[in-house]
Amino acid sequence: MSRIVVISGGLGSPSSTRVLSDDIVARLRDALALKGEDLDAQIVELRELAHPITDAMLTGFPTGDLARVVEDVAEADALVVVSPTFSASISELVKSFFDILEPGTVTGKPVLLAATGGTERHSLMIDFAMRPLFSYLGALPVRTGVFAATSDFGGAGAVSLEGRVAQAADELADAMVGAPRKAKDDDFVDFATLLRR
């Protein structure tokens, strides 16, 4: 069972950011099924945690539901991060969430980066704002980012968006299946026992 946490930074209910998050999860579930893996996906709507995130920035530690989400992020096999575009950059709510994480929380973790925005002109924000942040945090962003403009939801744009979602989800599935398995206590062997054999 592969476990992911989806960080969705949309502010509305419903939001195009959440719609894109759901589309990515559905495609990732299919991609992993082809590899014989089941998917356990937890979607986190950051707008519901806006006040606790601010509190954590002021106090230096998360509490309550936010602390549980932070723990889930640390234990996940991979992340999907979907941010709305504000001023040609990542949402401050999304940025603030990752600012409160302890160093090393997402190190080595595969992550699919996605964003929504009103126009295609902001599509480079994934490469100029999101990718540098996650590289700094030590995460491993997959090659294809998914940007969805308003025009991508419905009509001819939906076909193009579907292809980008499929490509990115396939890349994340490959990264997850090929990622080193987390070590368990019974994986370690006592060297003295080995020497006696």
Provide the whole-model pTM: 0.87
Range of the domain at 119: 2-196
Strands (E), 87-178: 89-90, 110-117, 140-141, 146-149
Q: How many domains does the chain have?
A: 1
Supply the pLDDT for residue 195.
43
Measured distance CA(133)–CA(139) in Å, rounded: 9
Q: What is the 3-state secondary structure (H, E, C) of 51-96?
A: HHHHHHHHHCCCCHHHHHHHHHHHHCCEEEEEEEEECCEECHHHHH
CATH number, domain containing residue 61: 3.40.50.360
Residue-by-residue pLDDT tens, the chain, 197 positions: 999 999 999 998 889 999 999 999 999 999 999 999 999 999 999 999 999 999 999 999 999 999 999 999 999 999 999 999 998 899 999 999 999 999 999 999 999 999 999 888 888 999 999 999 999 999 999 999 999 998 888 766 667 899 999 999 999 999 999 854 444 444 444 444 434 44
